[in-house]
Structure 1
Amino acid sequence: MTTEPRTFPPRPLRAVKAVYVRQAGCPSSFALAVADFEPWEEGVKFETADTSTVPGWPDGEVAELHEAFGCGVREELAELATLNPGTTVAVAVVLRSIKVHEVDTHPGAFRHAGRQAVRNALLEAYGPPPRPRPKQP
């Protein structure tokens, strides 16, 4: 990526969507989440909005999905700071909504969705990473 100093996120990033779907037999995985990434104090603050509920699901199971999503976000942001030493992470992540599948949703899928949400937010904030130029003959 880049070596110039920067702060993530550079501006509010609203409604960043992350989908994790893996169908390779049984068990499968499904997670869909929408989150906002807001500039904040240095570090990572994670919270869930009242709108990220799942009708008919026990509150404890939904809280476990929220926690897994937050874990994935933190893991990916820690990796970002390691790979890009000039990047300061100063973000509040608000999980706005989630969608589940009655059979294929589990915390691991939401952990992956959290990581994907960070990648999608980075793309939205900075665009795709530069591609290496082919060598001229």
Structure 2
Amino acid sequence: MTTEPRTFPPRPLRAVKAMYVRQAGCPSSFALAVADFEPREEGVEFESAGTGTVPGWSAAEVSELHEAFGCGVREELGELAALRPGTTVAVAVILRTIEVHEVDSHPWAFHHAGRIAVRNALTEAYGPPPRARHKRP
């Protein structure tokens, strides 16, 4: 079995949705984000487009959510390169939309949503990950 070098993403991936919802009492968490993953020459670039204002949230709070999402994306992409030797990460991630809950949205929820966005983009690009097969005794 030969392993061909892969570049992530292999093609533009549009409108990748990521949702992180945790309701296990107080505090709860909610983050919903939609991002595009575009091929680029090298490295990771993150930008937000059209998500600068959220009713009832200050620009600083929204910026903090964007930064947390971007941090989650970078962490997950860093693990991808470490887990799959030979995979080159060359991507521009454009955060298109976010939705917040007035109480339950916070940076940590958007950090998780960033990680989930990468996983969802990987599934869209390469299909679901292989499932572990258990041997019968």
The TM-score, its normalising length taken from structure 1, stands at: 0.93
Alpha-carbon distance in structure 1 between the residues aligned to 2:46 and 2:96: 11
Match in the other structure for 1:36: 36
Q: Which amino acid aligns with 1:99?
A: E
- Superposed CA RMSD in Å reads 1.7
Within 2, Cα distance between the matches of 1:136 and 1:26? 42
One-letter code aligned to 2:80: L
Does 2:113 align with 1:116?
no
Bigger shift: residues 50-59 or 127-136:
127-136
Identity %: 82
Per the alignment, residue 23 of structure 1 pairs with 23
> What is the CA-CA distance between 1:135 and the residue it aligns to?
4.6
Give the conservation status (yes or no) of the 8 Å contact 2:81–2:89: yes
TM-score by length of 2: 0.93
CA shift for structure 1 position 118: 0.1
Unaligned 5+ segments in structure 2 are none
Q: Would you say how many aligned residue pairs link Structure 1 and Structure 2?
A: 136
Give CA-to-partner distance per residue, 1:44-80, whole Å, 9 cap, x none. Answer: 0000002453122100000000000000000000000
Extract unaligned runs of 5+ from structure 1: none
Contact preservation (8 Å) 2:52, 2:63: no
